[in-house]
A and B are shown apart, each in its own frame.
Chain A
């Protein structure tokens, strides 16, 4: 007999599939980003159905929130339209079908979805559910006690990952003074920050008429 939650589960999964396929099909990147946001939001819903409220919360905040904002910010810089694919997608299709096939093969021996007797629910998890109250203290949300204490080291690593991402993005994107555009002999020239006057004059003399290569923003905000 199918229970109401199962119906919700199935409906959400179908919704996800539809969204996913729509992402593949659309050539409008703006739409794709939005659909990806929706995908995150719907999966957040699915997480709630599967009792993962913390994950749902985070997925909603990150997947639908931050990720979407970042992607939109990027699109504003790189344009909204995707080109027609030029090669036949046979190889990717093969890889995907193979990977999926292997995974499906792997699931065939798995205990049924949601069965309380699954080995995963028998070994370490019960310890957390039963003992965290004594060991960690009164923190009803077991996810929090596992996250911050039992597996606190992972969380520290996760914080470090976030920090690493910031370091990386700032290395790539930060810049100090923007390159200037200088008008010279009826043409505009882009000048990197830090160029001295002598260099500039020498370059103007040497300039043969080509538009200079795109400028790399050197210098950081700190």
Chain B
């Protein structure tokens, strides 16, 4: 089994998905989904360990040698991202068991969990594949399942926001397909490594820069980089709580990974940054995302929506890191992938708990929740501190690397913007804290603490966001090595 582990990481969920669909009972389907999530966590951890030990793992699907067949190619970056996805899946699925039972009708639950497993499989497939067209296929699996889950939100606006997401997501995917086609026509191959070898021969050609442009635009649509982020706030706001937590922590992360993969592995940093001057585009956009979108978040009164805008701003941080094009910058980007997954997951899950009990996440409805739901709000504050970037939380580690990357390049202004961004996070997190702790609750409503099955997963992420903030050596080492691999500084 062990030599087939790369394939099993993805195909076990793919086997379990139809089984969940056929199970017909919500509980059984949930059990199957849990099995799928935990299996992938196990597999992702073993793969990461194995990659650390013995380098890149290559696995030829169907036994066909690349570039003739499709291969899975797992280096540190992909193993790390796969681990993020799997870990978040494993933590959110117990949570989903309770929250979905309330938000989605029982007879739809089996289908819901099927979509959940499919999304997991799709994201993992993107993370470890070594074939560009295979990326597209798995991107569509994850996108379609995401659409169907978001549309299940209780507010009718869930439908329109899903439609908006579907349109923008499909445009993004089509752009990616166009880019892949243009690369193919100039090189005759779809394998990433093969492409990386053959692209330099035709780089001076006009077609490749255009392919690069289309891929970049397509992927940035998927990862919701400003100004292509319009779908994200709506989708995150109206989706069922568990879905928001799962998606916010995984799907944009995988898109960021794709960006890394295309920029560094396939096109190479020399082409991406010296010839295409990528940083000239990405850096301003990232900075605007950090400042402008954080400002929007400050004025938002729906807390889920506030957090969604904050996600757009945080994506700005990741892209900012990447836009330096240095090992330090990419390390910052990768480590923030992980860190942001932990803290935003926890924040959205805390809001899910609030939703579960009071049916709303409007700021004015949350008065006095600090007393009524102490554990939930403590989780919110804990993860919020991380978002602000208080030391000994993961958010600080991200900022540490990001600012370091900026200063190493002499970009003091950029470092300043990063800090201003985290202060803006302070403002919007603190708005919630003040309402929850400084206002008296509505005495008419008896509000009790969220159920343990939701609190425990939330707290797992909160504790993790402190744990990996206090001891960030592991994550930082992996991220640095991954960045070095991507930039080719290491064999």
* A adjacent to B, CB under 8 Å: yes
List 10 tightest A-B contacts by C-beta distance, closest first: A106-B210, A168-B148, A123-B188, A157-B137, A109-B206, A220-B107, A153-B61, A164-B144, A120-B188, A153-B70
Q: How far is the CB of B100 from chain A (nearest CB, A)?
A: 12
What are 8 A-B pairs at a CB distance below 8 A? A106-B211, A153-B61, A157-B138, A164-B144, A165-B144, A168-B145, A174-B108, A220-B108
B118 touches A167 (CB 8 A): yes
Chain A neighbourhood of B131, CB < 8 A:
154
Q: A154-B70, A164-B148, A172-B148 are in contact. Are A106 and B182 (CB under 8 A)?
A: yes
Chain A neighbourhood of B141, CB < 8 A:
157, 160-161, 164
CB-defined interface of A158-199 with B at 8 Å, one 1/0 digit per residue?
A: 101101110111111010100000000000000000000000
CB-defined interface of B455-482 with A at 8 Å, one 1/0 digit per residue?
A: 0000000000000000000000000000
Q: How far is the CB of B44 from chain A (nearest CB, A)?
A: 19
B189 touches A109 (CB 8 A): no
Q: Is the interface of B mostly helix, strand, loop or mixed?
A: helix
**Residue count of chain A within 8 Å CB distance of chain B:** 46
Q: Is A212 an interface residue (CB 8 A)?
A: no
Residues of A within 8 A of B (CB): 102-103, 105-111, 118-125, 127-128, 149-154, 156-158, 160-161, 163-165, 167-172, 174, 176, 216, 218-220, 222
Alpha-carbon distance A8/B21, docked complex (angstroms): 47
B134 touches A108 (CB 8 A): no
Chain A neighbourhood of B64, CB < 8 A:
149-150
Q: A111 — nearest CB in chain B belongs to which residue?
A: B185
Chain A neighbourhood of B62, CB < 8 A:
149-153
Q: Is B14 an interface residue (CB 8 A)?
A: yes
- Which among B109-117, B398-406, B410-418 touches the partner chain? B109-117
Q: B13 — nearest CB in chain A belongs to which residue?
A: A160
Q: A123 — nearest CB in chain B belongs to which residue?
A: B188
Chain A neighbourhood of B164, CB < 8 A:
none
B211 touches A119 (CB 8 A): no
Alpha-carbon distance A177/B148, docked complex (angstroms): 22
Q: How far is the CB of B4 from chain A (nearest CB, A)?
A: 13
Q: How far is the CB of B294 from chain A (nearest CB, A)?
A: 26
B144 touches A119 (CB 8 A): no
Chain B neighbourhood of A111, CB < 8 A:
185
B207 touches A106 (CB 8 A): yes
B115 touches A164 (CB 8 A): yes
B114 touches A167 (CB 8 A): yes
Q: How far is the CB of A24 from chain B (nearest CB, A)?
A: 17
Chain B neighbourhood of A165, CB < 8 A:
144
Q: B205 — nearest CB in chain A belongs to which residue?
A: A109
Q: Is B273 an interface residue (CB 8 A)?
A: no
Chain A neighbourhood of B184, CB < 8 A:
120
Q: How far is the CB of A221 from chain B (nearest CB, A)?
A: 8
Query: In chain B between 153 and 177, which residues have their CB closer than 8 angstroms to a CB of chain A?
Result: 156
Q: How far is the CB of A77 from chain B (nearest CB, A)?
A: 14
Task: Find A119's partner among B69, B121, B185, B206 (CB 8 Å cutoff).
Answer: B185
CB-defined interface of B202-221 with A at 8 Å, one 1/0 digit per residue?
A: 10011101110110000000
Chain B neighbourhood of A218, CB < 8 A:
105
Q: A120-B188, A158-B137 are in contact. Are A164 and B118 (CB under 8 A)?
A: yes
A167 touches B145 (CB 8 A): yes
Which of A119, A153, A168, A218: most chain B Cβ within 10 A? Answer: A153
Q: A107-B207, A109-B207, A164-B144 are in contact. Are A121 and B188 (CB under 8 A)?
A: yes
Chain B neighbourhood of A120, CB < 8 A:
184-188
